Amino acid sequence: MNRPQSEYISGEPWQTCYAQLAPKLLLFARQWVGSVADAEDVVQTAFVKFWRHQPDAGPEHYPLLYSAVRSTALDLLRADSRRGRREQFVATDPDEPFFDPTIEHRENSDLIHTALQQLPESQREVLVLRIWGDLTFAEIATALGGSINTVASRYRYALDALRRILKPHEYERA
């Protein structure tokens, strides 16, 4: 596999991948595990597992990282459930936002964080991968194991639902 030299600027291929995807993978993990600390554990486990098995992975394989994060997060939830201490999905916590709180859209980020939690899981994960993961519908279908048509329709439903949820807050005027 020939990759452009720019991919190796940061050193090892995994470092380049990490620099590009770490915040996106963390956001994706937090769709299942509430706290940042647990989400980082999930990302670490999935990331290490992926790169140990595919040390020469290129960007075309990156969608599978999201799949690894998803299955690791679900494994963690199952384990917690078996131990009888599964937490409810985290409520909006201003101390652990989904998005960078230092940017100018702080108020909107809190609104969207809350709105995202009201979406069905199947729609939310597609929306997160499409908007903040920058994946195509085909890549999302690979990551989640569905058809492209299903992914596309879930994305449309998610966008519509999100707009309806945000409308009372007049998000569009922000």
Could you tell me which of 79, 81, 71 has the C-alpha nearest to residue 143? 71
Q: Which of 64, 77, 90, 152 binds another protein (CB under 8 A)?
A: 64
Question: Using the 8-state DSSP alphabet, how is residue 89 labeled?
Answer: P
Could you give the string, one character per residue 80-99, with x where binding to another protein holds by CB under 8 A and - elsewhere?
Answer: -----------------xxx
Contact flag: residue 131 with another protein (CB under 8 A): yes
Residues 32, 42: Cα–Cα separation, whole Å: 10
Spatial neighbors of 140 by CB under 8 A, at least 6 apart, are 63, 126, 129, 130, 133, 151
Size of the site for another protein (CB under 8 A): 53
Contact 64, 58 (CB under 8 A): no
Residues 39, 33: Cα–Cα separation, whole Å: 6
Contact flag: residue 68 with another protein (CB under 8 A): yes
Contact flag: residue 48 with another protein (CB under 8 A): yes
Residues 51, 62: Cα–Cα separation, whole Å: 10
Q: Which stretch binds another protein (CB under 8 A): 37-45, 80-88, 118-126?
A: 37-45
Contact flag: residue 49 with another protein (CB under 8 A): yes
* Contact positions vs another protein (CB under 8 A): 14-15, 18, 22-24, 26-27, 36, 40, 43-45, 47-54, 60-61, 64, 67-68, 70-72, 74-75, 78, 97-101, 103, 105, 108-109, 112, 131-132, 142, 144-145, 159, 162-163, 171-173
